[in-house]
Chains A and B, each alone.
Chain A
Amino acid sequence: MSLQFVVDGLLTGSMIGLGAIGVTLTYSILRFSNFAHGDFMAWGTYATLAVVSAIGATFGKVAPIAPLSFGWPLLVALVVGMAFTAVLALLLDKVLFSRLRSQGQAIIVVMASFGASMALRSLLEFTFSSRPTYFSRAIQIAMPVGFGIRITPDQITLLLLTAVLVLGVHLLMTRTQTGRSMQALSQNAALARIVGIDVASVVRVTWVIGGALACVAGVMIGILVQIRPFMGFDMLLPMFAAAILGGIGSIPGAVLGGLIIGLAEAGAVQLIGAEWRAAVSFIILMAVLFVRPIGLFGVRER
């Protein structure tokens, strides 16, 4: 088989990994699996698309940056989209999740997130219709880099962007007071409150990071694949599988889990066929649950 699957897998893995960071943070700090996370992705992408077209309408056609398929409008729009998705996540927490959380039954929150996910996705379908759209219809020439692998400038840029973001979040989690508070809350909520950690602000940071990264992952899918209302929902199972494979609460774990699943998916596409791609994450998920339910970097729950 050709080694091309490595590049494809790393790209899919980056998208899954960026999404899985949000899933794993919500799970470890707010203690519920958020089924609406995929729809944050889709909403962020559509918001970014809307800003791109708004800029296009105001400034006219902007030439893309040299070898890439997009220009500065997309970069500006991405930042706006990230902020928008973060606010969306905060808003949903305020009107729905936080109220149910205070009733103390974690699984009710999961159900509410399932309902919210359906509503959010259908609202996108209503507003933008279910037809796929694209950031750009330009075709990029893939450059051969040896070993039968080809890669486009867009793909290189997005891989680098992922690496920078993951490194940033990792440093935030390990080197700043906010990050340490987040870790404390995920390890022992009661004790964290006793030592005076501001729980409300930690919760806010969690949603902001999760939402913003979901938006980036969505825009990556939008640039490399296509934009559809179901784009996030289809990523849900790979993201959950990645978060569990990496170990709940671990950011390097979520990213590594995402990369493993991305590579496995790309390998399966070559060996078995693209139609079975979605089964890969399920098989990996089941294997992890049977063999090592705490994941690669997980800690046993107390």
Chain B
Amino acid sequence: MDLLGYGAFFLTTALIFSLVTLGLNLQWGLTGLFNVGLAGFVAIGAYTSALLTTPDDAARLGGFGLPILVGWAGAMVVGGIAAALTGMATLRLRSDYLAITTFGVAVVVQLVALNAQKLTGGPFGIGFIPRPFGSLAETPLLFNLSNLAVVSAVTLIAYLALEHLSRSPWGRVLKALREDERAAISLGKSARFYRVQAFAVGGAIMALAGALQAHFTGFIAPDNYLPILTFQVWVMLIVGGSGSNLGAVIGSILVWGIWAGSGTLTSILFSPEQQARAASLQIVAIGVMLCLILLIRPTGLFGDRPRRPKPGKQTKAAGESGAGS
């Protein structure tokens, strides 16, 4: 019974990660937009939904006591707007600028979460976030299973919607832009407009995942959204194979399994005072894993990303390959 309960708990967390990875896959896998601040967008979603749904709190702004579904919708809207603004600022520039800007977004969101006590509760975070099926909390198994059902349903809907999107004309334009920007533009597609859209939708999905997580645990704090989250999700996507929605989901479950498993292992093998150090070793291992996959099998398990250099960049690519020799 305990095992089943833990299994449900594990799978719920893994599926929430899958949702973030699906959002990243839309941004990176399908459109080629590099987001190293996704923890910021997840945090925006979590905090938005928490603000909208928690009961009134005198110590900070809001606590509007709205229904959970309103919170989730609000999270998607705010997350989408934040992503759209980020995209509009940087998508006319070189791809690296987007990376640097998203990194900055995550830093600023973290700062706001820590310091704007009136809005976010500061370092102590926000508690008493209403949980769906909170009345079932007395029987943990039932509670975990019903949460799993909700999260699975949301992930499935997102998965199907994204599959549909990537086959739709809209998705084909994104792929065309990724593969050969010049050809797509010459067919009259505005590269920047489509990219901002894709980035915004991806940001909205990440924010939704953050909201789901917040309502699942009932408590959020700035520590949940450190750069390590960004890093984990990237490894999940690369392992699964960028470009594939199925890969994103399976990669997330797999990597979260490895992560949770190695976490349990270190807690058995190391004494309590050594555990913080052992945890950092865990990150080293995952970081090395990411680099190895990029070197050895950049397509991951299910990826469809072609390895040929872009035609438009051939001169540059030639210079770079020489630089490496």
Q: Which residues in A have some Cβ–Cβ distance to B below 8 Å?
A: 27, 29-33, 35, 96-108, 110-112, 114-120, 122-123, 125-126, 129-130, 185, 189-190, 192-193, 199-200, 202-203, 233, 236-237, 240-241, 244, 275-276, 278-279, 281-282, 285-286, 289-290, 293, 301
Question: With contacts A118-B287, A119-B283, A130-B276 known, is A31 near B324, CB below 8 A?
Answer: no
Q: Which of B32, B90, B321 contacts A101 (CB 8 A)?
A: B321
Q: A190-B318, A244-B97 are in contact. List 11 more A-B contacts (CB 8 A).
A: A101-B320, A106-B316, A107-B96, A107-B99, A108-B298, A111-B294, A114-B36, A118-B283, A119-B286, A278-B108, A293-B93
Which residue from chain B places its CB closest to the CB of A281 in the assembled complex? B104
Interface assignment of B140: CB less than 8 Å from any CB of chain A = no
Cα of A202 to Cα of B108 in the assembled complex, Å: 36
Q: Which residues of A contact B100 (CB under 8 A)?
A: 33, 237, 240, 244, 285
Cα of A125 to Cα of B287 in the assembled complex, Å: 14
Q: Which residues of B contact A278 (CB under 8 A)?
A: 107-108, 111
Q: Are B291 and A116 in contact (CB under 8 A)?
A: yes
Q: Which residues of A contact B104 (CB under 8 A)?
A: 237, 240-241, 281-282, 285-286
Cα of A74 to Cα of B278 in the assembled complex, Å: 31
**Interface positions of B from 276 to 325, Cβ below 8 Å from A:** 276-278, 280-284, 286-288, 290-291, 294-295, 298, 307, 309-310, 313, 315-325
Say which size band chain B's interface belongs to: 35 or more
Q: Are A200 and B307 in contact (CB under 8 A)?
A: no
Q: Are B280 and A126 in contact (CB under 8 A)?
A: yes
Q: Are B95 and A203 in contact (CB under 8 A)?
A: no
Cα of A173 to Cα of B36 in the assembled complex, Å: 32
Question: With contacts A104-B313, A111-B234, A279-B111 known, is A35 near B320, CB below 8 A?
Answer: no
Which residue from chain B places its CB closest to the CB of A203 in the assembled complex? B323
Q: Are A104 and B317 in contact (CB under 8 A)?
A: yes
**Interface positions of B from 78 to 115, Cβ below 8 Å from A:** 89-90, 93-97, 99-101, 103-105, 107-108, 111, 114-115
Across chains A and B, which 7 residue pairs bring their CB atoms closest together, nearest first?
A: A189-B319, A119-B287, A104-B309, A104-B317, A98-B324, A115-B290, A122-B283
* Interchain nearest-CB distance for B146 vs A (Å): 35
15 A–B pairs (Cβ distance < 8 Å), ordered by A? A33-B99, A98-B325, A102-B325, A106-B96, A115-B287, A118-B287, A119-B283, A119-B288, A122-B281, A190-B315, A203-B324, A237-B100, A278-B107, A286-B101, A289-B89
